[in-house]
Amino acid sequence: MSLRNALLGLLVFRPGSGYDLLKMFDTSLGYVWPAKQSQIYGELTKLDATGLIKVTEEGPRGRKQYSLTPAGHAETVRWLTESRESRPQRNPMLLQTFFLGLLPREEAVQRLLDHAEASAKEHDTLVALRDTEDWDKDMLTVCGRLVLEHGIRQRVLEQEWARWAADQLRAGHAVDPDGGPTGVPGKETDTEEPSAANASDA
């Protein structure tokens, strides 16, 4: 239901067409909630049908300008106050990290350092964006700035964590006494066999 609320949210500030909204997704909102053209148009049609928005003006190329109805405004406020949205749960990068032990140690370490570097680049981009934009014009950009700051901090976290994790893996090359490979094994055992992990089910 979140795309729905994203569209309503944008329409609170000013009426707009599907095309206008698409632009906003692509330039700003898409950082936290991406949406494709086909989905936006479909959702707008539904929103119109349920009476949360309506066409208030028609323009040149079949352009339909949508505005919020009172019901739409109420729904937006309700969404903001009543629903407590949680963090995103699916993280592909952490999923890979979970299985990083299957790679030779150096490769695993390198993957983490690559992630750190990629995050650093993204960090710089976001900082540049923060310092470029003409902020504080309206509430949308005031809150947009809060969101952007979150992104910046996030990239710092990714960097620091990835470097720490790389260190952890590097440090883990102690050979354990009871035979099993405790750290990340080298290339010896990992070709064909599902070698592994342990038998220590105690």
Cα angle 185-186-188, degrees, rounded to a multiple of 5 = 105
Determine, following the binding rule CB under 7 A, whether residue 64 of this chain makes contact with DNA: yes
Q: Binding to a second copy (CB under 8 A): which residues in 110-129? A: 111, 114, 118
Structure token digits, residue 73: 């405004």
Determine, following the binding rule CB under 8 A, whether residue 79 of this chain makes contact with a second copy: yes
Determine, following the binding rule CB under 8 A, whether residue 91 of this chain makes contact with a second copy: yes
Residue closer to DNA (CB basis): 44 or 184? 44
Q: By rule CB under 7 A, what string of x and - marks binding of each residue 77-116 to DNA? A: -------------x--------------------------
**16-20 long-range contacts, Cβ below 8 Å, gap at least 24?**
16/65, 16/66, 17/59, 17/63, 17/64, 17/65, 17/66, 18/44, 18/64, 18/66, 19/63
Counts of helices then strands in the chain (DSSP H, E): 7, 2
Q: Name which of a second copy, DNA, none residue 153 binds, using a CB cut-off of 5 to 8 Å depending on partner kind.
A: a second copy
Determine, following the binding rule CB under 7 A, whether residue 44 of this chain makes contact with DNA: yes
Determine, following the binding rule CB under 8 A, whether residue 39 of this chain makes contact with a second copy: no
